[in-house]
Amino acid sequence: MKTLQHVVQRFLSQWYFPLALILLSSNTFATNTIQSIESNIDDLSCTGCNLILLNMDFFRADYVGFPDSASITPNIDNFFKNSIKFENTYSTSGSSYRSGLSILTSTNPHIYDLDVRSFEILKRKHSLGRWKKIYSSAKSIAEILQSTGYHTIQYNKGTRSGRTTYLDRGFSVYRQFVIRTLIEEIVPDFGDLLLESQQPYLGLLHAVPTRLHRAYYPANRTRLDHPNIQYRPFNKNGKIHGYVVARNWGVSHHEQREAEHHIYQQQLQYADDELELLFRKLKQHEDSSIIVLYSGHGTQIGDKQIYASNGVSYESNIRVPLLIKHPSINAPVHISQRVSLIDLAPTLLDMLGIESPKSFLGKSLVPLIEGKNSTQRVIYGRNDPDEFIIVGNWKLIAKNYVTKELFNIFEDPNKINNLYKKHKYIARLLEYRPSPGKYIDIVDPKEWQLVIQNDTQYELYDLQNDPGELTNLIDEQQEIFQPMLEEMHKKKAAAQKDIARMSTQ
């Protein structure tokens, strides 16, 4: 077992020195975060194994992956009983739009710099310009495996993932499903296709089985009766096929949050039942397959009085399950150290005996799993409205507030009339400049001026003593805040260099 002194020295040699020095002065950090992992695992190599990735967006780590007597996902718990269980896993973003790209290509989420609405609008208008190259050029794990002879399959349900974000590349078989598709319509066919495929294969299922607003639930399943839950039927082939599940408005925060959690639990039970059918099929290949269940992001469901489905950096939304079922693992292996999903692709390639490309930013977690290396790493992520960085037990969130004003300076030289809301598309074109000469709907770009003002508010939390992120310590812990902020700026600056490089390739 490595000594604490050895681990500290490795940390200081590999990560930002001032930040490490400050955080190691904290007893909480030193005793609870830097840990040596005892393990009897000698070899996780699985050359030629199949790889099955089950990306269940909206799964939260406090609901899925670590069972207790009240678990509502018994089928997941049973199938992954003897697996590698990462107890503190963080996604790179609170939205599929960035997390899918960042996870599968092991890249800095700051690279994907367009806000999601601008990306959708510009792509629909065929005006992405250089951003198309940026969003589609990083090599994904699917492309790597396909180049080594793997048969690659993806089933994708979601409007901000898969083909939408150019993540259909590298797949021999790709199927896209509309958002109203129920998980029971996807899982059986996906399982059958894997069993029929030539080996080795990569199978990726992005199913989005839970969704708070416009959650889709089957008509033939018992529904929870709750005063703040609505079921709105929708038809298919002339019959009621399912229900759009939503909460009632106009009740107290406590009642709203309760309704959100009840809806969520019902959806998890449904997803768990349907996944059990897939697990039965996967058992036929479990001796020759690495099977991974993870989530690109969680969901707030009323926590911290936030009801949006995703896109923020609080624990409910970015702390996710990560379970790896491996042919060599026949007992539970628990990893308590905080890890990031940016390391998932290099970890899996390491297990498969395939070298990761230089473009991968993440590092293999195999040494950590085998107990050979417990070096603490910086974890970071990016959303539209905010970003976060975690070192040890400390987490810094930077909430970015942006105001945008658009003026027609030919007609309004004194910039009195803000036309941003009226001409958002013009503002987006001016901001991102997709390609020279492609200012659709603009008579003369020189007539317009976009004024952008940025403001940032910070929140600092001690996750060890305040896992619910209730007490913002930004004023009391300036000696912690400043080096973490510098490290956050380094991640953003590195992404800007990558954007410039990828734009000219």
Q: Check if the beta carbon of residue 105 is closer than 8 Å to that of residue 359.
A: yes
What would the mean pLDDT of 49-70 be, rounded to a whole number?
A: 90
How many helices (H) and strands (E) the chain has is answered by 15, 16
pLDDT digit string, tens, across residues 265-284: 999 999 999 999 999 999 99
Q: What is the distance between the alpha carbons of residues 177 and 192, in angstroms, rounded to a whole number?
A: 17
Residue found by looking up tokens 């449904």 in the block: 270
Q: Which CA distances in Å does 159 have to 96, 181, 350, 484?
A: 9, 12, 31, 34
For domain 4-394, the CATH superfamily is Alkaline Phosphatase, subunit A (3.40.720.10)
pTM equals: 0.87
Tokens encoding 473:
């310590």
Q: Which of 241, 272, 247 is nearest to 260 (CA)?
A: 247
Tokens of 294: 């993870």
Q: What is the mean pLDDT of residues 287-295?
A: 97
**Angle at 404 (CA atoms; ends 305, 472), nearest 5 degrees:** 35
Q: Is the pLDDT of residue 17 over 50?
A: no
Query: What is the rounded average pLDDT for all residues in the chain?
Result: 87
**Maximum CA extent, the chain:** 74
Q: Report CA-CA distances (Å) from 399 to 451, 456, 472.
A: 20, 5, 13
Query: Token pair for residue 211?
Result: 């969704």
CA distance linking residue 246 with residue 262, whole number of Å? 11
User: Are residues 436 and 477 in contact, defined by beta-carbon separation less than 8 angstroms?
Assistant: no
Cα(423)–Cα(35) distance, integer angstroms: 54
End-to-end CA gap in the chain: 46
**pLDDT band (50, 70, 90) for residue 492:** very high
Q: 396, 459 in Cβ contact below 8 A?
A: yes
| CA–CA separation, 201 and 280 (whole Å) | 18
| Cα–Cα dist 93/277, whole Å | 30
DSSP code of 303?
G
Domain borders along the chain are 4-394
pLDDT of residue 2 exceeding 50, the answer is no
Task: Find how far residue 91's CA is from the centre of its chain.
Answer: 4
Give, to the nearest 10 degrees, the angle between helix 187-196 and helix 253-282: 30
3-class DSSP state of 152: strand
Question: Which pairing describes strands 319-325 and 173-177: parallel, antiparallel, or unpaired?
Answer: unpaired
The residue assigned the tokens 């658009």 is 406
Write the pLDDT tens digit of every residue in 217-228: 999 999 888 888
Residue with tokens 């199978």: 203
Q: Which helix (H) or strand (E) covers residue 204, if one does?
A: strand 201-206
Under a CB-based contact definition with an 8 Å cutoff, are residues 105 and 309 in contact? no
Residue 386: pLDDT over 60: yes
Q: Are 167 and 100 in contact (CB under 8 A)?
A: yes
Least confident of 97-101, 104-108, 348-352, 449-453: 449-453
* Top-confidence residue, 504 or 339: 339
